[in-house]
Amino acid sequence: MEQPMKHRRKEPQNLHELGVGQCGVVTEIRSTGAMKRRLVDMGITPGTTVYVRKVAPLGDPIQINLRGYELLVRGSEAREILIRTGV
């Protein structure tokens, strides 16, 4: 008899790990200081849904869609933004 699969909770991943066409919800911004203020000023806040539109050939920058507009973020910034997918 087969045992039921245990429900595994998806852990947040960073925005840089998402592929083109994937979306998720921002759960946390790990950076601090001026970088965090800049990201928040651009509308990247916890609870915001982001959609990855394009990724440059070398992976930097990443074009995302959020709050009805397009935004480019650097790879270093994207690694500081935690995302939960499959919500």
List domains and CATH numbers for the chain. 13-84 (2.30.30.90)
Summarize pLDDT for 18-46 with one digit per residue, the tens. Answer: 999 999 999 999 999 999 999 999 999 99
Asked if 16 contacts 80 with a C-beta cutoff of 8 angstroms, the reply is no
Residues 6+ apart with CB under 8 A from 2: none
Query: Which residue has 């933004």 as its token pair?
Result: 81
Q: How far apart are CA 30 and CA 7, in angstroms?
A: 27
Segment 72-84, tens digit of pLDDT: 999 999 999 999 9
Q: Which two tokens stand for residue 25?
A: 């919800």
Q: Indicate the pTM of the whole model.
A: 0.80
The rounded percent of the chain whose pLDDT value lies above 70 is 85
